[in-house]
Amino acid sequence: MDRRGRVGPWPGGAPPVECRAARTRCPPVRATAPAGRTTQSPAPGRRCRARPDMSTHDDLKFLALLVHRGHLDRKQAEPLLPALKGGAELDRLLVDLVGWTAKKVGMLRRTRAGEEPAIRGFDFLGRLGVGGTADVFRVRDKATGRTIALKILNPRCTRDPVQLKGFVTEARLLEQLEHAGLVAGYGVAKAGETYFAKMELIEGKTLLELMDEGHVFEEQVSLRILLEVAGVLTYLDTQNLVHRDVKPGNIMLSGGGDVKLIDLGFCAMKDARNLADSAVGTVQYLSPEQAAGGASADLRSDIYSLGVTLFHLVVGRLPFEGSDDREVLYKQVMESLSSPELKSRGLSPHVHYFIEKMMAKDADVRYQSWDELIQDIEEQLEGRESLDFTRDARTRAARRRGFGRRR
């Protein structure tokens, strides 16, 4: 890690950005109308001719894609099935029965139900990730000539007020906040029925992706990463914000070794009423007070989640697992860490101490401030002769580079 807080160069160059969110995809469908067909609706009252089975099959797949992408719900789609199987054209049914315009149907055909965006002002250079609520694309902004990331909200999420608000709030936060450890935001906008956010393009992978690929994080490197993330969370604290979803999947290492905290979708003001919402966050990293409900999250909740992240990095698995979310939540509240198991893993005493203190069930026993945690990590790292650290007043980042090795 150098003076700028970079963990180290990426072997073989920068890897592509990817998203670990759900990758369920519908089978590919034809983007244009097959020969002999048109996306224009027939004249009112005109009967549809029966068509070859292949055309019906294509329409059924396209209807499934429309549902999967959120353009239709199941209640709207199910009444269309008998007519489709009888040979009716899907395009006409969407116009006559659903109430869409022929222009909208044609647009959805051309873009494969929005899988291939049609937003003016951008050259689409490729898909970076497919998520549960949004897809991310590499684009060139024609207005600035800059290559950026474009995050596009899935159509079904635009009808969910909570998800839509979260998407817009995160985009505006990224635009307002300024920190090297956060992804820069360039604004949020709407094109037709499509919401999208412009963001800084980061070439890298998340810690979770790296672990899934077989990377092992040494203790020293894990603490360096924690130090950088704690610095970002310190900044959020000065802005009166709690992240509420700290986890390896939301911590990215760029190809140049920079540590980035991503996804502010659950971020909230400290005095916000929804801080007591126990459903917010990822259950495997949720603090006991949030899991139990009725207690507001504060910086100590983020410290707990960062402690779970440290455990996951150095042990290679989660501290509390279960058959479902309810079982995991129960363990977060009721079960203690197994000290003998931690010792059997060969962890050093100071890493063992960090995990125990950061993951204390009682929030009052944990670190009470980010400065306190950062000071302890810095002192521990600087006390190791094998590390060469700079006393940079802003980051105290390590000069030594490298982030992990493969199993």
3-state secondary structure of 377: helix
Among 340, 321, 341, smallest CA distance to 331 is for 321
Among 312, 249, 315, 253, smallest CA distance to 282 is for 249
Q: Is 255:9 a contact under the CB 8 Å cutoff? A: yes
β-bridge mates for residue 149, sequence order? 138, 199
How many other β-carbons are positioned within 10 Å of the β-carbon of residue 134?
A: 22
CA distances 79 to 70, 73, 113, Å, are: 17, 11, 19
**DSSP secondary structure string for all residues of 60-109:** HHHHHHHHHTTSS-HHHHGGGHHHHHTT--HHHHIIIII---HHHHHHHH
β-bridge mates for residue 124, sequence order? 139
Please confirm, yes or no, whether 245 is among the known catalytic residues. Answer: yes
Q: Is 160:169 a contact under the CB 8 Å cutoff? A: no
3-state secondary structure of 188: strand
Residues sharing a CB contact under 8 Å with residue 299, sequence separation 6 or more, in sequence order: 233, 237, 242, 369, 370
Active-site residue, selected from the candidate residues 135, 245, 258, 302: 245
**Cα angle: 304, vertex 310, 299; to 5 degrees:** 25
Catalogue the active-site residues. 245
